[in-house]
Every structure is written in structure tokens, then in C-alpha cells.
Chain A
Amino acid sequence: MRRLAVAVVLAGLPAAAPAQPASAELQTLKVQGNVYLITGAGGNIAVQTGNQGVLVVDTGVAAMADKVVAAIRKLSDKPIQYVINTHVHADHTGGNETVRKAGLTYVGANVTGNLTDAGVGAQVYAQDNVLKRMSAPSGVQTGVPFGAWPTETFLSGRKQLFFNGEPIEIIHQPAAHTDGDSLVLFRRSDVVVSGDIFVTTSFPFIDLDRGGNIQGEVDALNNLIEIAIPGVQDEGGTYIIPGHGRISDQPDLLEYRDMVTIIRDRVQASIKKGMTLEDAKAAGLTRDYDGRYGAKSGSGTGEMFVEAIYKSLTKKK
């Protein structure tokens, strides 16, 4: 339990991806094994169900949280015991408080007697940097309510659980989309949840202000490729639930990794030629992918992607 008892300032968290806004109706799809996908609540939400209970990966935006709980309840009436956050952004953590309150933590022995609220709500897991960015130093107040913060964090490379008869790995990807990204691998169901390291709706949003970096993003995509094993005839096999967009497999991910790598190489070459950031942004380096991945405005545009790469590659170490 690494709950920081700090108070803070309004430091609200941005929603990451420009596309796939929260919609009025949620949609639930079975992915495979024990894992389901809920879309329409901002970022994608994964739900694992089984005899022991329910585990939820990401919780969407706050405004959709009640509907998310209702959608989970259609999948299972067992207790929601775990919430895992892939990263800090509000379109993935906004529903934490509501989803957590809808669940419970089993406690026993002396804990029950000593901490009367120990069993209240589900446990919320995340990499430690997620908590650091949601909370704030003593004396200041954060925009994220205390009840939405992770209750359990991990510092090392990975955290392992065994739940509903399946091994689950939460694997930290340092300095990629942010500095607190995790992949969540359901080893028996053969499903991996990528958070916003991989989205099918836009260019990657590299959140430099929250520790993101293009090289970490490329490394994380390559890690994901190594985890995802395609099925017969190079299709299916391990399914990937992206942070936004549709269910994917390794060949889909491969297209995305190639795109990110190619554009990184182009920006790198531009820097070597002495081009300024403005020159690189105006050079049309993403033109072959703009039609597919370029958001019209906001984060996820080609120009923003080039800027994030340029700044990552020229950042003084």
C-alpha cells in the first residue's frame, strides 16, 4: 500500500488521444478467453471476469463511470477486486473512483480489526509514476480526487498477479507515451492491453511533460511486438487492446511500429541536416500517414508528432 497522504493543487490531467471521444452508448465485445473490451467511455477499457471476481484495466472518463460500472455488471455480478491503470491520463483513469467504489478488497486476520476501511473498494494498481503524477507534494492540492488514486503501486519492472485462474503481468514501459506506462498481459487469455503506447486512431501522443519520449515509445512498441505472437497464417493469436481504437493483432501493430520508426528516422535525418523544428514540421514528413493517423487538430496531428520526436531527440541529457 503506497497511498500518499498529501494534499494538493489543481493539476488536472489531460485526456490523451484526440479521436474516440466518450459517446452516449458503450459497446462491449468479447476479445478472447476471459477478456472483454468496453468502448465509448474515452479510452478503451478491458475487463477480465471469472470465478474469483472482476479485474478492470482502465476506467474511461469520469462522466461515463456509472455506465462503465453498469456495463461491467452485465458481464459479471462478481465483485470488482482489481483496477489496473495503464497510465495517468484522465481518459483512462477518470472513472477510477466510481469503479473502485463499486468493488471490494478481501481482507482478513488483523487487518479487518485494525483498519475498518481496508475492504472498502477495489484495489487500484499502477506503476509508481502514475501515483506521483496524480498526487502532489504536501501543502498543495491536486485536481485528481484522492479516491481515484492508485492504492497499490510498483517500482520494479513488472508486477504479477494470479486471478481468475490466469497469470497477469503488469509490465512497466519507461518513458514511452508517459513515464508511467504499463502493458497488461493476460497470459491464459492471450490478450495484452497496451494503453496509449499503441492506438489505431491517431499518431502516438508523446506526452513530453509527463516523461514521454520517442525512443521509449519505439522500444515499447518493439516490446509489444515480441509479446504478441500471431496465430496461424499470421493472423489473430495474441490480441492487443489498444488505448483507443479497434482490437488488433501483431500484423496491425507492425504497421504502426513501422510508421513510428520511419517517421522518427525522418526527423532524425532532418536534425542531422540542420533543420529547425519549424522546418521539420513544414517538411511533410508524415504525409504518407496523415490520411490514416493524422488528427485534424489537438494532440495526434502529424505536426505535433514531429514536434514531439524533434524535442525528444534534441533534448539535452
Chain B
Amino acid sequence: MKLRLTSLGLSIALGSAFAQGPGAYNPVGPGVSLAGNWGPVFHEDAHERGPGPELVNYLGLPITDGARMYGLAWDASRFTVPEHQCEVHIVSYIYRGPYNLRIWEEHDPDSQKLVAIKQYIDNYQQTRTIWMDDRPHPSDAAPHTWMGFSTGKWEANILTVSTTHLKWGWIRRNGLRHTDQATLTEHFIRHGDNLTHVSILTDPITLTEPLIKTQDLVLRIQNGQTWLYPCEPVVEIERPRGTVPHYLPGENPFLHEFADHYKIPLDAALGGAETSYPEYQSKLKKATAK
């Protein structure tokens, strides 16, 4: 720890001493090193991130009517369809549960210029590249991926990342999904041995306002287990070809389950931007007092 602080101090000092003209690269700053192995801390949103969210629990999510209808049509049996079984958690969701996150830097061998910050997320065996060399994002016609296409920049000691070219993926893994038109802004903020990850998801189709989440990770002195994700789909339930499990409008049998269990109004369980603000609590109290 002391060594790292000393290095950081040295970096800042060198950054000043060898300051260069606009556009020139300073290999020692700005920014801090995020390199290392990081493990998740699950004290935040533990229930959702561990056992998983209840069905029709959309509380606190700024979803559109269309996103809600999508969620209510979703049947968890969709997971049994072979083509859906190996689906990866999208980058906007995957940090809810990375069991081990390795971060390293890739530098140009000749100039030592930082080209990319790479991440290996062992949950779903994803290798992510955050390009740091000012390259443009690909064409609209280029493929979309689970990790998307990311570019980063240092804002003081915060790594800010912009991601496009996402696939459809979870807003919450109980049927709420964002579309492939979503974009993601992230901030990686290091405080000594702790790393805070802030994600800001925007999707005009499924969200009425940006969805902001945070996750915390802690530096691992010992290398954490690096799990692989060898997934091969199998037929779990024989069905007619092309069957897509879903509920018809108005026929979701779990509509009231979460709301009834926690004795909250269904409107609250169905989410929407209003349910994410503190003022909603007083509205709820009035509603439940009647």
C-alpha cells in the first residue's frame, strides 16, 4: 500500500516535471493504475445479485410501458430453450456479479503509449477491451456484442468509458431487457484497495431516464479463482420446433406474487421512474394507510 502511494506520488510529480505540449502523450499520467485482480463486494443489492430478483419485481427501475409489457410476457422457461441457455450477461449487467475481475494495460511496445485497458470477467468468460487511443466507434452496420465497443478516457483519476454496439441484454434478470440501441457510460474510481464501478445505462426504448447503478470491488492480494464458462446447450424439454415460452397479455400468473408477499401495491412492483425516488415512499405510505 505504501509503495503504491509512493508510486502514485511519483507519477504525479513526473507528470508535472515532464509536461508536454497539447496532444502529446504522457505515459505516466493522468490516471491511476487499475491493474490487478479484483473481487466483488456484495453488500449492495445483495438479494438481487445473489439469489436473484423476484418475478415481476420491477421496483425502482425507470422502465417504459413497452419494457414493462416485455417483462410481463417473459416466461423464465425461456432459459430452457437451447439457443437461450448460453446467453451471456451483457456488459451493462455483468458487473452485478463478476466473481473475479482482472484488469491490465496494453501499451504500444515502441512508444509505451497506452493503447487499451483490458478486463477479464470470469463470469461468462468475457474479455473486454477499453480502447484508450482515441479510435472512433465502428459503423452502425457493424456487429453488436455482449461487451460492446468501448472507448475510455481519464478524467482526473477516474476512468470514464463510453460503450456502444450492445446486444439486447438484462436490465434485471427477471425478464426486463434493454435493446441493442442502448448505450453505456461507466466510471471506474479507485480508492486504494477498493474500486467503485458506476454504470449509467441509457436506452430511449426501454428506459424513461438513465439507469444508474454502482458496484464495489476489492483488490485481491492472492489471485482469485479464475472460472471458465464452458457452456453447451442441451434439450431440457422437448417441445415443438420454434416454441418460445411466453405469457399472453394479462395472463402472467406471477403478476401479484412479489407485490403480495411484500404487501406493496402492484403499481409499485411494476416500476417506473417514480418508484426510484425517495418521494415515492411517502406516496406509498399514504396508499397503504387507506
Contacts and interface: CB of A to CB of B under 8 A. Distances in A.
Interface of A: 27, 29, 37, 39, 200, 218-219, 221-222, 225, 230, 233-236, 239, 245-252, 254-255, 257-258, 261-262, 265-266, 269, 283-285, 287-292
B52 to A, nearest CB: 20
A288 B70 contact: yes
B124 interface: yes
Given A222-B241, A288-B73, A291-B204, A235 B141 contact: no
A262 B73 contact: yes
Contacts of B73: 262, 288
A239 B143 contact: yes
A269 B73 CA distance: 14
Contact of B244 (A29, A250, A262): A262
Question: Size class of B's contact patch?
Answer: 35 or more
A219 B241 CA distance: 9
29 contacts: A29-B139, A29-B142, A200-B180, A221-B242, A222-B241, A222-B242, A225-B83, A233-B231, A234-B88, A234-B146, A239-B143, A246-B140, A247-B142, A248-B143, A249-B143, A251-B83, A251-B87, A252-B144, A252-B168, A254-B84, A257-B242, A258-B246, A261-B244, A262-B246, A265-B246, A266-B248, A283-B249, A288-B73, A291-B206
Contact of B139 (A27, A234, A284, A289): A27
Nearest to A234: B86
A252 B169 CA distance: 11
Given A234-B86, A246-B142, A251-B167, 7 more contacts: A37-B141, A234-B231, A245-B141, A254-B83, A257-B242, A266-B248, A288-B73
Contact of B242 (A219, A234, A235): A219
Contacts of A27: 139, 141
B172 to A, nearest CB: 15
B69 to A, nearest CB: 4
B246 to A, nearest CB: 5
B181 interface: yes
Nearest to A258: B244
B66 A289 contact: yes
B248 A292 contact: no
Given A288-B66, A288-B73, A246 B141 contact: yes
B64 interface: yes
- Main SS class of interface, B: loop
B125 interface: yes
Nearest to A241: B141
Interface in B78-106: 78, 83-84, 86-88
Residue among A39, A235, A284 with max Cβ neighbours from chain B (10 Å):
A235
A256 B49 CA distance: 28
Contacts of A29: 139, 141-142
Given A219-B242, A288-B73, A291-B204, A236 B83 contact: no
Contacts of A252: 144, 167-168, 180
Given A29-B139, A251-B87, A235 B244 contact: no
Interface in B57-87: 64-67, 69-70, 73, 78, 83-84, 86-87
A132 B139 CA distance: 37
A245 B125 CA distance: 29
A37 B142 CA distance: 10
A245 B139 CA distance: 11
A250 B83 contact: yes
B65 A246 contact: no
A55 to B, nearest CB: 20
Nearest to B180: A252
Contacts of A266: 248-249
B97 to A, nearest CB: 16
A239 B145 CA distance: 12
Contacts of B141: 27, 29, 37, 39, 245-247
Contacts of A236: 143, 145
B205 interface: yes
B78 to A, nearest CB: 8
A287 B143 CA distance: 26
Nearest to B179: A292
Contacts of A39: 141
Contacts of A262: 73, 244, 246
A291 B205 contact: yes
A290 B66 contact: yes
A247 B143 contact: yes
B126 interface: yes
B205 A292 contact: yes
B217 to A, nearest CB: 22
A233 B67 CA distance: 26
Contacts of B180: 200, 252, 255, 292
Nearest to B247: A262
Contacts of A218: 242
Contacts of B254: none
Closest 3 CB pairs of A and B: A291-B205, A288-B69, A288-B70
B25 interface: no
A191 B122 CA distance: 29
Interface in B217-269: 229, 231, 241-244, 246, 248-249
Contacts of A289: 66, 70
Contacts of B145: 235-236
Nearest to A225: B83
A221 B243 CA distance: 12
